[in-house]
Amino acid sequence: MSALRPVAIIGAGVTGLTAAFALRQRGLAVTVYEARARVGGVISSLREDGYLAEAGPHTLLETSPKITGLVAELGLQRRRLDSDPRAEARFIVRGGKPIPLPTSLFEFLRTPLFSARAKLRLLLEPFLPRSRAPEESVADFVRRRLGQEFLDYAIDPLVSGIYAGDPERLSLHHAFPKIAALEARYGSLVRGQILGAGERRRRGEISKMHAKKFSFDEGLQVLTDTLAERLGTAIALHSTVIAISRRADGWTVSVDCGGTLRHVEHAAVLFAGTAYQLAALRLETPAPADLGCFGQIYYPPVASVTLGFRRDQVAHPACGFGMLIPRVEGFRILGTVFSSALFPNRAPPGHVTLTSYLGGTNHPELALQPEEALVETTLSDLRVILGVSGQPTWRQVSGYPQAIPQYELGYGRFKARMDELEQRAPGLFLAGHYRHGIGLSDSILSGLRAAERIAAWLRAGGAGVAGTAGAPRTASER
């Protein structure tokens, strides 16, 4: 049996941190390499002057008991905040005004959001033939089954809210695989939602639409900070992995630690960064593999603008989850989360917090504006849509030049390449939002599944032995 060697985890975002924690819980040693000065990736919560801003996601969806279990294992139950049940309403802007998205057949029949023609088209959906096409864009699928108006005023804003993407470019089969599966299995979305509900309950699955939304008293950064605290010295910040090399008995990871190059031995490697970081990684294996193709995965820029106001400055009640804005409406922001309606303590008493997003695939230039321009662009739209008056009492602006991976048409070639890499390079594992879904819950579950796979591979004698004791050996100590 060889000396103890840890598992290398590249990337200290939520996927990497979750995987590292899960491996440690199994008695395995880990080293997490993070190029930046902080952990958490896009998760960043700022508390200031009684406000709380989330630069990244606002909520975590309880889509699996594994997420509930992780929160419990970390001892965070008392810090958990479930979203206010009164904040379930979601709004779609039409004619410059926020209209509640209907949640029942009765509401759907009465809503002014869709015309009578569009409603009739939706009611006819179960009788339309299914498609045999191997791949289809989200837009083509929706036009075919639900019509143009439903695309314009439901799916287009939904895609903007989730992916900051373009439904004409996104692949239904990869961006929304469960929707594609409904048509493939049941021949209809409506029929599939009805008949599939019982099956999902038996499997213990909870759809994202019905999953509980929660956060923590000081924001989602509580989760990543707690994971980091548990991992302690297993995290190496300012450590950029530039190459990984397959050896007969494991892996050598080459790390730039602030200008000092180290070569460290590991039993296995989990890559939990971004696709463009994967493209820049040098992989040395007996059968050389080029990772450059992953640089073709598009990440559009997105900016978030969080503004605080006195309650009397906002005419709209802003008492739901938030609003999404269809492109056909001609506004510049993608949508706005009513942050202070979701959870308590997100704004001082008598104030509200609104977080708006700009940029994305269709208007990337808007996300790249200077801070003042981002604030003014946001205010201009909010004044029209929500009746905002005056200047904000507080603001926080964050930008991501490469924000969200786009699962565009042809994305299957990237997933096939990922599968091929893992097969050709035993002991290399890939996880994260570029592979298993872009939501926060998706990223957590991706990390947990990766930990299970790595532990099983090591138990089967994959390479070396990993344990809770011991530190990584450098190449000079071999």
Q: What pairing do the DSSP bridges indicate for beta strands 322-324 and 90-94? A: parallel
Distances from the Cα of 370 to the Cα of 330, 347, 363, 446, 463, angstroms:
21, 25, 15, 35, 50
Collapsing DSSP to helix, strand or coil, 440 comes out as: helix
Report pTM: 0.92
pLDDT lower than 70: segments of the chain? 1-4, 200-201, 203-209, 463-478
pLDDT in tens, 131-168: 888 899 999 999 999 999 999 999 999 999 999 999 99
**Which pLDDT value is given to residue 478?**
35
**Which pLDDT value is given to residue 190?**
84
Q: How many residues does the chain have?
A: 478
Distance in angstroms (rounded) separating the CA atoms of residues 281 and 258: 17
Distance in angstroms (rounded) separating the CA atoms of residues 120 and 146: 10
* Beta carbons within 10 angstroms of residue 30's beta carbon: 27
Distances from the Cα of 246 to the Cα of 117, 179, 284, 289, 472, angstroms:
60, 39, 6, 11, 16
Domain 114-203 has CATH 1.10.3110.10: yes
Q: What percent of the chain has pLDDT over 90?
A: 84
Q: Work out whether the CA dihedral 344, 88, 432, 42 comes out positive or negative.
A: negative
- Which of these CATH numbers, 1.10.3860.10, 3.50.50.60, 3.40.190.290, 2.20.25.90, describes 7-42+220-297+407-460? 3.50.50.60
Structure token pair of residue 153: 């005023």
Would you kindly state where each structural domain of the chain is located, as residue ranges?
A: 7-42+220-297+407-460, 84-102+300-403, 114-203
pLDDT in tens, 12-33: 999 999 999 999 999 999 999 9
Distance in angstroms (rounded) separating the CA atoms of residues 76 and 60: 13
Q: Work out whether the CA dihedral 106, 111, 116, 122 comes out positive or negative.
A: negative
Confirm if 92 and 324 have CB atoms less than 8 A apart.
yes
- Say which CATH architecture domain 84-102+300-403 belongs to: Alpha-Beta Complex (3.90)
